[in-house]
Structure 1
Amino acid sequence: MTEPRLLPELTARVREAAHSRTPPCPCGAAVLADRPDGTVVRHADTVAKAHAPDTDPAELARRLAVAAASPDVLLPPLGPAPAALHGRLVTFWPYGTPVDPDDPDAAPWEAAAVLLARLHRTPAPTGLPPMRGPAKAARAVARLRAAGAHPAAGSVLRAWRTLPAWARAEAPMPDTTTLCHGDLHLGQLVRHPAPDGPWLLIDVDDLGAGVPAWDLARPAAWYACGLLPPGEWTRFLAAYRAAGGPAVPADGDPWPALDVPARALTVQTAARAIAKAVTAGRPLDEVERCVVDACGRMAAGPARSAHRAAK
């Protein structure tokens, strides 16, 4: 639950930040997101984000420094250090035009792939914390366990247990030198300058050193579950390879590299879906059933890859 004073005071902060660079304008502020892990408010050409309450200040500062040093890949922040507001760290960003969710044919799969390849070819700076993808997956499973009984929960938890310890955030990742985004999906791309500048990646909260295949895992899992058409997956993978991305071999079968992260993202998605359905007291929808069913097939044994489990 958002601290009651956070939104109005965050709105005041983003107005102040916006008009430190431009004359005052009469437009209001828009709440772009209001979740426990992040509240985001826009005013004019400026966005303010209140990060999760447990955000580590030093780790966030390191992630902001990476974004500031990589303006051809990551949207750079408007300041070098976060502010504080009601126990939350607040950062300021230029506004970028997001992907249009109502125009799936225009989804920038190639742009996302090229940006990931550039990111993955950038050495992770010394002292950068680990990429937080496995930790987010583990939190989703913990939320599932806390949500209460559901008939599909058992197969999802069994699929989780087939993953290696690093993918469950129970051991260090096998790669500690590659720079990764940690939570790649189409909502993490914006055009900047708005409205039609080049695409850039946003959201540094999970940025860190780790296994680069994790950043390809969500579209890989969607493809394996039948939720992403083969043509779009092929475009994404081909563009990543053409840009020299190191997460998969330059040719041949990509699934030996993608299998564990894709299975982990499938479990994470299914766990979140079930937890939300239990909280709302509703049945799973068709998309949610697809990922839950894939977990059931993966739970048949550790040799069942995410790709084969979808067949």
Structure 2
Amino acid sequence: MGTPLTDRLAALGRGASPDGRAVVLADRPDGTVVRVGPVVSKAHAPDSDRGDLAARIAVARDPLLAGILLAPLGDGRLLDADGRPASLWPLGAPVAPDDPDAAPWEEAAALLARLHSVPVAELPGPIPPMRGPAKVARALRRLRAAGAPGTAAATVLRAASGLPPWAHGEAAPPRPPTAPLRAGAAPHPPQEHPIRAEAAPPRATPPRTGPAPLRAEAAPPRGASPRTGFLCHGDLHLGQLVRHPATDGPWLLIDVDDLGLGDPAWDLARPAAWYATGLLAPDVWQRFLTAYRAGGGPAVCPEGDPWPELDVPARALTVQSAALALVRAAGERRAPDEVEQALVDACARILALPGGECDRTP
């Protein structure tokens, strides 16, 4: 017998697929998913803002997102599942977890480039902010409450202190989006990767060339996101892609819970952070980045060093991943494993960079 929540989700699914067998695909505090035949019913997080969630689902239904985001079933209206907002979606085939060589990195990058290029003024609104930075703040709150090992937790929290407020959920004054960079714009000069273990010792950041919005003298004030107003996924990883129709259809992005307006660099930040921490092979990162640029994505300059745009979001995602890793280890009463420790080590390298930690002296 299932829980009242999963039973209700199964009933919602059978409303669209009467003969299907109910299978629980995921049951987490932030989302419970039940499959009934070709239909997937999802209960969103209990604290979801229903107005924002409805707006995100309306965006997913818009024709401008066809071929980019998986569209919901029916009219897109929110349903109720044991007091939680719920929605119905068609079943897609996920990325195979046992075949990493077949992971669709290029396809994911191409979809992001298209998503970031959607004309937001033509979408139903108002569109809420992308929720990525708010999730960093939540991960840090969980770390503080978890009683994780002192030295590791302190390293992560100190690395978080060097992030500008916009990168961990604090409000910053809105800024209009910059225009996508021209194909002929001057690239940034080469630069060692700032977080990787094999990176050169910290040194002064070289002067940047290129379009005015990216030059040091034109940089936004500390605490303000350099760009907002682009449609962003907000939580990009390979689990957010499915083939639809299942098995042989094109790849599409799923999960609109964090969808919204923001800095498109955020959607590249998780693979960038994985590359930075040594969890993603350099050739895979280059394939992803090359495909994003080939699609005309506006998050990074069209050629040259992408790190000026990716640095802060990648640091933020590294901090978030390390915080959640320590929370998980503390909950299981064990030391961090190799992957978890790699994330903490990356936070330690962040601290060695210029601006890696806030100066709290009077």
**TM-score, normalising length: structure 2:** 0.80
- Note the alpha carbon deviations across 1:98-157, whole angstroms, 9 max, x for none: 000100000000000000000000133441000000000110010000001413000000
Deviates more, 1:52-61 or 1:110-119: 52-61
CA positional deviation for 1:45: 0.5
2:93 to 94, 97, 108: 97
CA distance in 2, matches of 1:174, 1:297: 24
Instruction: Give the alignment's Cα RMSD to 1 decimal.
Output: 1.5
| SS of residue matched to 1:167 | helix
- The answer for the alignment partner of 2:214 in structure 1 is none
| Matched-pair contact (CA < 8 Å) for 2:242–2:251 | yes
Unaligned runs of 5+ in 1: 306-311
| Matched-pair contact (CA < 8 Å) for 1:174–1:210 | no
- The answer for the alignment partner of 2:116 in structure 1 is 120
| SS of residue matched to 2:86 | strand
CA distance in 2, matches of 1:178, 1:207: 10
CA positional deviation for 1:161: 0.5
- The answer for the alignment partner of 1:68 in structure 2 is 61
| Matched-pair contact (CA < 8 Å) for 2:159–2:356 | no
Deviates more, 1:171-180 or 1:193-202: 171-180
Runs of 4+ in 1 over 2 A off after TM superposition: 123-126, 171-176, 300-305
- Note the alpha carbon deviations across 1:12-51, whole angstroms, 9 max, x for none: 22122223xxxx35xx211111000000000110000000
CA distance in 2, matches of 1:47, 1:71: 19
Deviates more, 1:119-128 or 1:281-290: 119-128
TM-aligned CA distance change 1:190 to 1:297, over 3 Å: same
2:331 to 279, 284, 296: 279
Bigger relative contact order, structure 1 or 2, given CA contacts below 8 A and separation 6+?
2
Matches within 5 A, 1:191-202: 191-202=243-254
| SS of residue matched to 2:51 | helix
Larger Rg: 2
**TM-score, normalising length: structure 1:** 0.92
CA distance in 2, matches of 1:98, 1:29: 18
Matched residue count? 297
Alignment-mate amino acid for residue 108 of structure 1: P
| Matched-pair contact (CA < 8 Å) for 2:8–2:82 | no
| SS of residue matched to 1:200 | strand
Asked whether 1:266 is paired with 2:265, we answer: no
Matches within 5 A, 1:1-311: 4-19=3-18, 24-25=19-20, 28-69=21-62, 70-79=65-74, 80-124=76-120, 125=123, 126-150=125-149, 151-172=151-172, 173-303=225-355
CA distance in 1, matches of 2:336, 2:97: 22
CA positional deviation for 1:4: 3.8
Tell me the percent identity: 63
CA positional deviation for 1:174: 4.1
CA positional deviation for 1:94: 0.2
- Note the alpha carbon deviations across 1:183-231, whole angstroms, 9 max, x for none: 0000000000011100000000000000000000000000011110011
CA positional deviation for 1:302: 3.9
Unaligned runs of 5+ in 2: 173-224, 358-362
| Matched-pair contact (CA < 8 Å) for 1:63–1:205 | yes
